[in-house]
């Protein structure tokens, strides 16, 4: 039997408004009646503007539409309902109405994703640029390269010095990377030698490639690893015949990150390990792991099994509804403590620190829904809508249980994650939260706050002190630094624009400059409606990513680095994740490592071309063109 089909047509897409016809085609042989059409679309619908239907509910991106009373759809006929949103009108296929199904009583009927009609924006600037011929080289560009006479040829069999504690990770990595090469470990005239030189700074290295030998000097395990990575990149891009050279190198920024959202869509441990593998290749040293959000809680916590039993899943019959096209079936997953330990160890062996993020007090719906008896104040009638269309996703800082639950969770987070820094989120707490919460009003009064809103900083600052007692520091998104409640030991991730980062730097915070306009790689490359990626912060092509400068003269002391981010509302699989990362991650890595005066766009492109066949050899997807 044919399935019903969901088509859509964009009627009007302007800066601040979006109007769509949603068309349900009854391609079955029977009449459809008494049904509700469910699908996901990340826009807040204006219920008063729906034509020929009714919005029954909207939770996040999950929308339920019903036909008008008594209406049915005969076999072969269609039902068209018109919906409008006055939030952003920027739209492309990544945000299409998705995951459709019908609810008829207790039954679910599958609905196929049908056709669409969307205007291409005019004029369409596709930024298409033919890539130049490949040229052997390194990404990120090393800071000093002195060419020498002659070539070094990598043979099938290579001797390497015996590893010690400092060189162990580098040698292990290099030998894994060249699994077709026979390695012999010997301290008698090895071809490749790792030599400790105390004067070199943490992360710095010197790589000397002569005709007969390769020497990597460093004072730290990370320096040795980065020397090995530079050698590996030269060998791969020059096909094992490398010009002799002396490279003296150290990073511009100490924080060079990759952020991955594993909450919105679940990306499993294999994908996470693959991301970590790719980070080493680009000398990125911090994995910012977004493990909790409105749509899911993905980390096992012994004290509260409900967090993963309930909070890690969504679908019909689950506490959390479907989101982002996940459909009526149960969808989700989480990381066990053993898996988290595996990721942390895997990263450590690659000189990468894992910073977990527990996003509070907003973006906390999964946490709240898993522990409603502890975290919901029934008398709180505050009326708010979050930017992602939730009306019940903010923790209540007036309830003692909120503090107890978070402290208990953080106890376990600290056991799992040895990183000095724990990220507490703090972004996008909507206007009007807590205003009608008796507990918050009382708490604000006790603390002599003028406004319940100050409880946001109070909660984060309480947890900052709690973690400080355990020897940890916090990182937060920029909003959590507003109101001056947290100390200057907290690192601020500036995401909404660079000016926010400049402001935080001026206020004395260490800043990770990661503005959405340059580092959110879930943004589309261009405005083509078929391009993968979202548009709310604009478009990011390779050059936009490359030209970003994290700091300026005023902020250079405070900006500790930058990172590439991928939020995963529409990023369901590894293929799509990689498509968004590559080749733009090459640009972010060079921005993070290479000093500004050594960055050079025309010099960068042939090195990118040379990396593409490496990506292919590793089975890594990337955007072509």
Chain residues binding ligand ACM by CB under 6 A are: 427-428, 477, 495
Biggest CA-to-CA distance, the chain: 88
Q: How far is CA 142 from CA 68, 78, 232, 479, 604, in A?
A: 65, 61, 13, 35, 12
Least Å from the CB of residue 285 to ligand ACM: 21
Least Å from the CB of residue 480 to ligand ACM: 10
Q: Which is nearer to ligand ACM, 309 or 427 (CB)?
A: 427
Least Å from the CB of residue 361 to ligand ACM: 13
Least Å from the CB of residue 368 to ligand ACM: 18
Query: Which residue do the tokens 């507003």 mark?
Result: 482
**Nearest partner of 170 among 128, 216, 103, judged by Cα:** 216
Between CA 253 and CA 550 the distance in angstroms is: 9
Least Å from the CB of residue 428 to ligand ACM: 5
Q: Which is nearer to ligand ACM, 437 or 481 (CB)?
A: 481
Q: Which is nearer to ligand ACM, 495 or 548 (CB)?
A: 495
Reading the block at residue 484, the tokens are 């001056």
Least Å from the CB of residue 477 to ligand ACM: 5
Q: Which is nearer to ligand ACM, 311 or 515 (CB)?
A: 515
Q: Specify whether the CB–CB gap between 494 and 500 falls below 8 A.
A: yes
SS3 content of the chain, % helix, strand, coil (to 5): 30, 25, 45
Q: Which is nearer to ligand ACM, 46 or 427 (CB)?
A: 427
Least Å from the CB of residue 427 to ligand ACM: 4
Query: Which residue do the tokens 């009638």 mark?
Result: 381
Reading the block at residue 63, the tokens are 């929308």
> If DSSP states are collapsed to H, E and C, what string results for 542-608?
HHHHHHCCCCCCCCCCCEEEEEEEECCCCCCCHHHHHHHHCCHHHHHHHHHHCCHHHCCHHHHHHHH
Least Å from the CB of residue 532 to ligand ACM: 18
Between CA 280 and CA 273 the distance in angstroms is: 11
- Give the three-class secondary structure for 280: helix
Between CA 539 and CA 541 the distance in angstroms is: 7
Strand 286-290 versus strand 353-360 pairing type: parallel
Least Å from the CB of residue 537 to ligand ACM: 9
Q: Which is nearer to ligand ACM, 439 or 505 (CB)?
A: 505
Q: Which is nearer to ligand ACM, 392 or 427 (CB)?
A: 427
Least Å from the CB of residue 12 to ligand ACM: 27
What are residue 414's DSSP bridge partners?
A: none
Q: Which is nearer to ligand ACM, 200 or 260 (CB)?
A: 260
Q: Which residue is nearest to ligand ACM (CB)?
A: 427
Q: Specify whether the CB–CB gap between 49 and 9 falls below 8 A.
A: no
Other residues' Cβ atoms within 10 Å of the Cβ of residue 502: 19
Least Å from the CB of residue 44 to ligand ACM: 16
Q: Which is nearer to ligand ACM, 243 or 427 (CB)?
A: 427
- Give the three-class secondary structure for 461: helix
Q: Which is nearer to ligand ACM, 203 or 428 (CB)?
A: 428
Q: Which is nearer to ligand ACM, 335 or 477 (CB)?
A: 477
Q: Give ∠ CA 245-251-254 in degrees, rounded to 5.
A: 160
Q: What residues contact residue 617 under an 8 Å CB cut-off, 6+ apart?
A: none
Reading the block at residue 7, the tokens are 């088509």
């Amino acid at each position: 039997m044919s399935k019903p089909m969901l088509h859509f047509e964009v009627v009007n897409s302007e800066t601040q408004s979006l109007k769509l016809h949603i068309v349900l085609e009854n391609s079955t042989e029977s009449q459809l009646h008494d049904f509700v059409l469910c699908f996901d679309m990340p826009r807040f619908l204006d219920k008063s503007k729906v034509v020929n239907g009714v919005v029954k509910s909207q939770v996040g991106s999950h929308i339920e539409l019903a036909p008008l009373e008594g209406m049915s759809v005969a076999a072969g006929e269609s039902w068209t309902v018109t919906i409008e949103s006055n939030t952003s009108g920027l739209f492309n296929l990544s945000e299409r109405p998705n995951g459709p199904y019908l609810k008829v009583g207790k039954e679910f009927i599958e609905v196929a994703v049908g056709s669409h009609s969307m205007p291409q924006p005019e004029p369409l600037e596709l930024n298409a640029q033919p890539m130049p011929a490949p040229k052997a080289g390194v990404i990120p560009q090393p800071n000093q390269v002195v060419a020498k006479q002659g070539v070094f040829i990598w043979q099938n069999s290579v001797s390497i010095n015996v590893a010690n504690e400092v060189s162990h990770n580098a040698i292990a990595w290099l030998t894994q990377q060249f699994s077709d090469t026979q390695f012999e470990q010997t301290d008698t005239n090895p071809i490749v030698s790792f030599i400790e030189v105390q004067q070199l700074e943490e992360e710095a290295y010197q790589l000397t490639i002569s005709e007969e030998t390769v020497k990597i000097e460093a004072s730290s395990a990370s320096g040795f690893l980065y020397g090995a990575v530079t050698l590996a990149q030269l060998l791969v891009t020059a096909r094992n015949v490398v010009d002799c050279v002396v490279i003296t190198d150290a990073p511009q920024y100490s924080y060079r990150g990759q952020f991955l959202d594993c909450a919105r869509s679940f990306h499993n441990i294999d994908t996470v390990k693959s991301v970590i593998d790719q980070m080493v290749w680009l000398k990125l040293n911090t994995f910012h792991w977004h493990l909790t959000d409105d749509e899911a809680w993905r980390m096992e916590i012994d004290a509260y099994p409900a967090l993963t039993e309930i909070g890690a899943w969504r679908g019909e019959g689950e506490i959390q509804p479907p989101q982002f096209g996940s459909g009526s079936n149960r969808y989700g997953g989480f990381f066990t403590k053993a898996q988290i330990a595996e990721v942390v160890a895997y990263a450590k062996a690659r000189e990468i620190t894992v910073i977990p993020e527990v996003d509070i007090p907003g973006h906390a719906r999964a946490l709240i829904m898993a522990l409603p008896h502890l975290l919901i104040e029934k008398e709180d009638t505050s009326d708010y809508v979050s930017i992602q269309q939730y009306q019940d996703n903010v923790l209540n800082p007036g309830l003692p249980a909120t503090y107890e639950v978070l402290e208990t969770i953080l106890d376990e987070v600290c056991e799992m994650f040895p990183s000095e820094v724990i990220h507490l989120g703090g972004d996008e707490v909507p206007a009007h939260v807590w205003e009608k919460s008796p507990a918050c009003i009382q708490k604000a009064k006790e603390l002599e706050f003028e406004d319940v809103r100050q409880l946001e900083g109070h909660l984060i600052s309480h947890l900052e002190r709690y973690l400080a007692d355990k020897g940890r520091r916090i990182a937060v998104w920029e909003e959590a630094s507003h109101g001056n409640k947290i100390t200057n030991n907290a690192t601020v991730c500036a995401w909404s624009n660079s000016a926010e980062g400049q402001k935080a730097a001026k206020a004395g915070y260490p800043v990770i400059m990661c503005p959405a306009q340059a580092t959110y790689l879930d943004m589309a490359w261009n405005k083509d409606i078929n391009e993968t990626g979202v548009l709310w912060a604009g478009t990011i092509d390779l050059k936009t990513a490359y030209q970003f400068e994290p700091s300026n003269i005023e902020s250079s002391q405070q900006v500790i680095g930058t990172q590439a981010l991928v939020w995963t509302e529409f990023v369901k699989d590894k293929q799509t994740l990689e498509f968004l990362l590559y080749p733009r991650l090459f640009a972010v890595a060079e921005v993070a490592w290479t000093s500004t005066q050594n960055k050079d766009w025309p010099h960068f492109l042939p090195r990118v071309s040379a990396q593409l066949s490496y990506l292919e050899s590793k089975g890594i997807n990337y955007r072509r063109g």
